[in-house]
Structure 1
């Protein structure tokens, strides 16, 4: 084989790997499954307020639904609601350190 063939192969490989990296970045940046289309003019009822990584397998997620927050522990095998009915910090009048 000639050197040109090896060069074409290497450039094609770099291009494909670059496309994979860009696709992974978009998926990570904008969410894995994509956002569900919301109706214009309507306020969203459900949202993730904050996520804290506990370790490689567990994370804490603060979810807001209809103005009420819920603290959920997500793990490999089970999910657990730790606290429910939390008032958001802005309504509670407290400041977050």
Structure 2
């Protein structure tokens, strides 16, 4: 019997937009608009910018929630397949280890 153990992470993300006359202000306002408890900022993108300085930035934060996950099978291939098939929707595997 082979057991595959690993860690899975939520793929949940939250966005927030910020507006300002310059890039730094717009970015800061976008990040300030995020509820970061349990989340980390992973991306900021400029959505629009005008010559007059009206800039819109979108910040995206990703959940930091992780949990252990495991599955077993008669061999590595079966255990790995069971592990991957039982990952809930909205979660991804961060890595696995094998105990044969």
Q: Decide: shared fold, TM above 0.5.
A: no
**TM-score, normalising length from structure 1?**
0.20
**TM-score, normalising length from structure 2?**
0.19
